[in-house]
Amino acid sequence: MLAATIAALLAGSSPGISLEVHEFELPNGMKVVLQPDPAEPMVAINLRYRVGSWWDPKGREGLAHLLEHLMFAEGEGSDALGVLEASGALRINAVTGLERTEYQGLVPPEVVPRALWLEARRMAGIDPNTVSRRLEQEKRVVVQELRERLYDQPYGAIEGTLQARLFPEPHPLHHLPIGSEASVFAATVEEVLAFHRLHYGPKHSCLVLAGPISVEEVRALITTYFGPLAPQEAPPAALAPAPVLKAEPIFGPEWTSGYSRVSLVWHAPNITAPESRALEVFGAMLSFGATSRAGIANLAQQSILNLKAGRYDTPAGGLFRVDAIVSPGASPLIARSRVRSVIETYIEYKPQPEELAGTTTRLQVEVLRAVGDLEARARLLQDSRAEFGNAAAVLSLAKLWSEVSATEIQEVLNKHLTHEPQVLVAQPVRR
């Protein structure tokens, strides 16, 4: 069915996506989304808490992420990760972002009751003895992760610099979710336990299950395991709008693969704004490269080897970002000017019909492929529930993209991308 839908898109039509989706809410405030699909061999479970680095206490940056690691530790005679993997579960993982912490995995259908029981147990509380025994070890694991993902990756460490400049102190988004070595090592057992009590509870969580499930049976299990948990009043996120972006470029030397990178960032509408679709299409148009006016051959003549662009959301509002990899020996600031000139060209002349059609088709295909992947589908349903208040709303994205016109793109670029962006230049240095 998915292959036929993709083929129909490539042939020029714009079919919708049809999925059976059930949503309900427990009396304690927990949101639940069930998507039965008997054709799948496994069940995707995705539990998301509305807490991330935005809520990290001052001086304890990375605490939300550290707690995520500890949630997999042994406690009271049970190891959640080990129990699930021994039962045939796959890809058990978790991720902490700016405003969410997410636990996910694939389990055999017969293991769903055990997996739900374990998640309810972890939501109810974290064993103080476990935290005391494992805290120092997990701190070292997190710091090693920080070094591998940031300091040892091309353009990795520069992301923290960009985040800090986009959101100067005391903004709660000043730091990356992983925190710093100093802040991670400073966390105490009492702080970890208090953070769990404040933020891990049914009222600020959403559970998604997708795969070969019985809606009635799974709903009864969820009610049994999660229903008795008391709702908690977690502190709301601090009101902190996005600061005004600075026009002057920031230079951030770091070890890279030998190429400079220029990042340009503008304020942009968030995902719930209708005009955000036009910016998403434009970002894809630049990123897809060869199918657009900003094709690879053209970019190479402008000292740009690769261009990646897109709109993304933060709790403080939307942003639009363009990253350009600069040719060796070329000036990053000249590359910045050429990126601006590419955008100005679209403002003046609009995208061509073939550019727009090719880009929207590729975007639609990406959504369809994500829906075809069970884990990605569960995340899409989570995102749609959080951003639109309706899990099934994500299924209309393909149609919404196909309705974006060249004039809409021109207007949204003229409105949002004619201002001076924040610019950060990452330059290679030798180690």
User: What does the pLDDT average to over 132-160?
Assistant: 87
Give the per-residue pLDDT at 38.
95
Q: Which of 281, 286, 273 is nearest to 402 (CA)?
A: 281
Q: List Cα–Cα distances, 221 to 107, 113, 122, 201, 224, in angstroms.
A: 15, 7, 16, 17, 5
Q: Which of 234, 62, 25 is nearest to 150 (CA)?
A: 62
Task: Give CA–CA dist 263/155, Å, rounded.
Answer: 11
End-to-end, the C-alpha distance of the chain in Å comes to: 52
Question: In terms of CATH, what superfamily is 19-226?
Answer: Metalloenzyme, LuxS/M16 peptidase-like (3.30.830.10)
**What's the pTM value of the predicted model, to 2 decimals?**
0.89
User: What does the pLDDT average to over 272-279?
Assistant: 91
Residue 108 CA to its chain's centroid (Å): 26
Give the per-residue pLDDT at 297.
47
User: What does the pLDDT average to over 74-91?
Assistant: 71
pLDDT-derived band at 41, boundaries 50, 70, 90 = very high
Per CATH, 19-226 and 250-428 having the same topology is answered yes
Question: In terms of CATH, what superfamily is 250-428?
Answer: Metalloenzyme, LuxS/M16 peptidase-like (3.30.830.10)
Helix axes 406-416, 332-349, angle to 10 degrees: 130
CB 107, CB 94: distance < 8 Å: no
Residue 130 CA to its chain's centroid (Å): 29
Residues whose CB is less than 8 angstroms from the CB of residue 177 and which lie 6 or more positions away in sequence, other chains included: 52, 53, 62, 64, 65, 96, 97, 98
Q: Side chain identity at 41, as an amino acid letter? A: P
Task: Give CA–CA dist 225/287, Å, rounded.
Answer: 45
Q: Which residue has the higher pLDDT, 237 or 421?
A: 421
pLDDT-derived band at 72, boundaries 50, 70, 90 = confident
Task: Please check the confidence at residue 35 and state whether its pLDDT lies above 70.
Answer: yes
Task: Give CA–CA dist 178/175, Å, rounded.
Answer: 8
pLDDT, tens only, 57-70: 999 999 999 999 99
Choose the weakest-confidence range: 198-212, 234-248, 255-269.
234-248
User: What does the pLDDT average to over 389-407?
Assistant: 82
Q: What are phi and psi of 23, to 5 degrees?
A: -125, 140
Q: Is 315 left (phi over 0), alpha (psi -120 to 50) or beta?
A: alpha
Task: Please check the confidence at residue 130 and state whether its pLDDT lies above 80.
Answer: yes
Q: What is the mean pLDDT of the chain?
A: 86
Domain extents in the chain: 19-226, 250-428
pLDDT, tens only, 292-320: 445 544 565 667 888 899 999 988 889 99
Residues in the chain: 431
Give the per-residue pLDDT at 21.
93
CB 187, CB 142: distance < 8 Å: no
Q: List Cα–Cα distances, 151 to 15, 140, 147, 234, 326, in angstroms.
A: 44, 15, 5, 34, 21
DSSP line for 227-287: TTSPP--PPPPP--PPPPPP-S-EEEEE--SS--EEEEEEEE--TTSTTHHHHHHHHHHHH
- Asked, as a colleague might, if the bond just before 170 is cis with ω within 30 of 0, I would say yes
pLDDT-derived band at 289, boundaries 50, 70, 90 = low
Q: Side chain identity at 398, as an amino acid letter? A: A
Give the per-residue pLDDT at 406.
94
Task: Please check the confidence at residue 431 and state whether its pLDDT lies above 80.
Answer: no
Task: Give CA–CA dist 63/200, Å, rounded.
Answer: 13
Residue 283, both tokens: 């970002």
**What is the edge-to-edge ordering of all strands in the sheet holding 101-107?**
22-25, 31-36, 205-211, 43-49, 101-107, 90-96
CB 192, CB 16: distance < 8 Å: no
Choose the weakest-confidence range: 73-87, 272-286, 395-409.
73-87
Residue 189, both tokens: 């057992």
Residue 36: in which H helix or E strand, if any?
A: strand 31-36
Task: Please check the confidence at residue 140 and state whether its pLDDT lies above 60.
Answer: yes
Give the per-residue pLDDT at 428.
77
